[in-house]
Amino acid sequence: MPSRFAKTDAGREEIRLGRHKLSRSMRNLLLLVDESRPAEQWLQLVHGATEADLQHLMAQGLVAPHVDAASAPMPLSGRAPASLSDALAQLSYDQLYTLLTSQARDRLGLIAGYRFVLEVEKAGGVEDLRKLAERFLNLVKQHQGEAAERQMRVVLCMAA
């Protein structure tokens, strides 16, 4: 797990509008988390918060790993994938399915997100999902810009 996280624009919007059904501990964690402290400290400060809560917030696009110029994000395995293809090769069908379906609507909008989830549902296997993940990054770039696409790349690499 990366050591520091920051709220995304979607996370700030969630605080204002409360569209996701977040548990109390997840909502409190979302309210507090920022890059000023390591994730472990935030988890200790929020009663009932777990690493799974933080993973859920990340999968929903509400928080993202904080990346500064001095350090590159490292995946759970302890070594960074050499490329996006390497990261995708490390992810299972279930991991890719969950990540893509959880991010589609927030990243692509209601209609485009729904269409993309239908494509994910039709995927015949993990290789199809890997191709869809690469296509998803292009769609994110078209809908939200390069910064959002880079952020999504980090999420994919962190999941590996």
Chain segment 44-69, per-residue pLDDT in tens: 888 899 988 988 898 888 888 775 43
DSSP letter at 60 equals T
- Maximal CA-CA distance, the chain: 43
62 with 31: CB under 8 angstroms?
no
pLDDT tens per residue, range 65-90: 775 433 444 444 445 556 888 888 88
Q: How far apart are the first and last CA of the chain?
A: 10
Predicted confidence at residue 74, as pLDDT, reads 43
Closest CA to 154 of 40, 76, 33, 64: 64
Per-residue pLDDT of the chain (160 residues; tens, 9 = 90+): 557 888 888 888 888 888 888 999 999 999 888 888 888 888 888 889 998 898 889 888 888 877 543 344 444 444 555 688 888 888 888 888 888 887 888 788 889 989 998 999 999 999 999 999 999 999 999 988 888 888 888 888 777 6
Q: To which residue do tokens 């996701």 refer?
A: 20
Contact between residue 135 and residue 115 where contact means Cβ atoms under 8 Å apart: no
pTM assigned to the model? 0.54
User: Do 58 and 20 meet the contact criterion of CB atoms below 8 Å apart?
Assistant: no
Structure tokens at 105: 């609507």
